[in-house]
Structure 1
Amino acid sequence: MTRILLADDHTILRDGIRALLSTAPDLEVVGEASNGAEVLTMLETIPADVVLMDVQMPVLDGFATMPELRQRFPEVNVLVLTMLDHENYVARMLEAGALGYVLKNAAITEIMYAIRTVATGSPFLCTEIGLAMLYKAVANTGGSTSSEEIGSHTGADLTARELEVLKLIAEGLTNGEIADKLFTSKRTIETHRQNIIAKTQAKNTAALIKLAVGRGLIS
């Protein structure tokens, strides 16, 4: 039995993950935390094999939590579950000691597989991030890649999901409307929007749309 400690500041998300994981006979959620400080406190009394942890959390986020967690509880493996898909976030968390990284929009079967993999001490990287990094690596070596998937021809290095969000922004949809259309949360869309603006260095949404049209990302 793999014992899991959930760490996310959204109660509804923790409830959903707990419910989904309860269908697996070999996985057990032994505790829930809303931030990194609670994770460290709970691990003192609650044995866990895997901490399934978000990056963006109040009080103590994932980046600040990792060093102390690795020092105090080296036997506990960490699997990051987040919507932050930029390679900088991935690299920082893995360098800090996380053993795996999976996006919240991954299928529950992939999340369960990631938990089981990390529990054995093996690293895991979700399919979407792995493919994005592969496409970028191929592009950097002069190979042929799908520009629709990662936008490498623009220099913006946008993921498939970010391109999808960008197109809906250009259509005039609000964050809430985009969230409903993509069956995700408004906060997730806000994160995607921030990532898109950061990657393209657009000063505002109008500049972002103009830049996207000019670079052929959208028509």
Structure 2
Amino acid sequence: MGDTIKVILADDHEIVRKGIRLLLETEGDIEVVGEASNGEEAIDMVEQLRPDLLIVDIRMPVLNGIDTTARVKKEFAATRVLVLSMHDDEEYIIKSIDCGADGYLLKDTSKPEFVKAIHSTMEGHKYFSGDISDILVNHYLSARKNPPADESLNDSSDYQLTKRERQILHMIYKGFSNKAIADELQKSVRTIETHRFNIMKKLEVSNIAELLHKVGNDASLKKEIGV
């Protein structure tokens, strides 16, 4: 690695990429050399530009961030990968780590911590924000207490809901507002809205009435979310 850290940004929202670029390029030793809107574009850019670091979102079209991370770490081992996501779901975090991610940050992280994470990963360390570290600790403590058979429950969903999405869907069905859910889970309303959008997309419904109707008429789904 030279004096300047060469970075590629992969996020399907252009305004997010531009914001991150502006934020990082105020640092004298970080240069954004490319932007990708999906995982396939990101992999092509990594192959062409051989950056020091790929900063990747989880949910992207064509190829998601987890699969992108796995391919980059397999095919371009010299490139570090830092996941930057709105999602604090345990499944996403664990899968990212299993695929070789060098760090995982939430998008509401502060600039100083973001820059610190970049430098830390470039020095060969793994970096996880405080919230993510807590989730990891709880996951591994839970794994030691519970038999592996319990993990099969996570794969039984017809809708591929994550643990956090099941928790939020339970609260939605019980009549909690977005703000009430946010307060209960100590997350921002925007984060809860994003989760609700993803839940509705997975259940193939377009509004809250359809969502409640679907849950109410699907016994296996009701059992899955504990209602």
Same fold judged by TM-score > 0.5?
Answer: yes
Q: 2:35 matched to 1:32?
A: yes
Q: Which runs of 5+ in 2 are unaligned?
A: 146-161, 204-209, 217-225
Deviation at residue 26 of structure 1 after TM alignment: 1.6
Q: Equivalents in 2 of 1:17, 1:92: separation in Å?
A: 24
Deviation string, structure 1 residues 157-191 (Cα, Å, up to 9, x no partner): 769xx88xx69x956459xxx9xxx4847863536
Unaligned runs of 5+ in 1: 143-155, 198-202, 209-213
What is the aligned partner in structure 2 of residue 3 from structure 1? 6
Match among 44, 48, 51 for residue 47 of structure 2: 44
Letter in 1 for 2:12: D
8 Å Cα contact 1:84/1:191 also seen in 2 = no
Between 90-99 and 63-72, the greater mean CA deviation after superposition: 63-72
Residue 148 of structure 1 corresponds to none
Cα displacement (A) at 1:79: 0.4
Please name the residue that 1:120 is paired with: 123
Distance 1:43 1:141, change over 3 A: closer
CA drift at 1:52? 0.3
Q: CA deviation at 1:91?
A: 1.1
Letter in 1 for 2:115: M
Q: 2:70 matched to which residue of 1?
A: 67
| Structure 2 CA distance for aligned equivalents of residues 44 and 65 of structure 1 | 12
TM-score by length of 2: 0.64
Q: 1:83 to 1:192 in 2, by over 3 A?
A: farther
Q: SS of 2:54's equivalent?
A: strand
**In the alignment, which residue of structure 1 is the partner of 2:83?**
80
Matched, 1:190 2:190: no
Amino acid at match of 1:37: E
Identity %: 31
Q: Identify the residue that residue 153 of structure 1 maps to in structure 2.
A: none
Q: Pick closer, same or farther for the CA change 1:75–1:138 going to 2, 3 Å.
A: closer
Indicate how the Cα distance of structure 1 residues 141 and 64 shifts in structure 2: closer, same or farther if over 3 A, else same: closer
Shift of 1:99: 0.9
Q: Is the 8 A contact 1:14 1:32 kept in 2?
A: yes
8 Å CA contact 2:91–2:163 kept in 1: the answer is no
1:130/1:73 CA distance change after superposition, 3 Å: same
1:77-110: per-residue Cα shift (whole Å, max 9, x none)? 1000112212221111111111111111111221
- Structure 1 position 131 matched with structure 2 position 134: yes
What is the CA deviation profile of residues 9-59 of structure 1, one whole-angstrom value per residue up to 9, with x for unaligned ones? 000100111111122112111110011111111122213111000111101
- How many residues of Structure 1 are paired with residues of Structure 2 in the alignment? 182
What is the match of residue 99 of structure 1? 102
Q: Distance in 1 between matches of 2:178 and 2:92?
A: 27
Q: Which amino acid aligns with 2:92?
A: Y
Tell me: CA distance 1:12–1:158, structure 2 relative to 1, closer, same or farther (3 Å): same
TM-score (norm 1): 0.66
The letter for the 1-side match of 2:61 is P
Query: 2:192 & 2:32 partners in 1: Cα distance?
Result: 26
Partners of 1:83 and 1:191 within 8 A in 2:
no
d(CA) in 2 for partners of 1:139, 1:187: 28
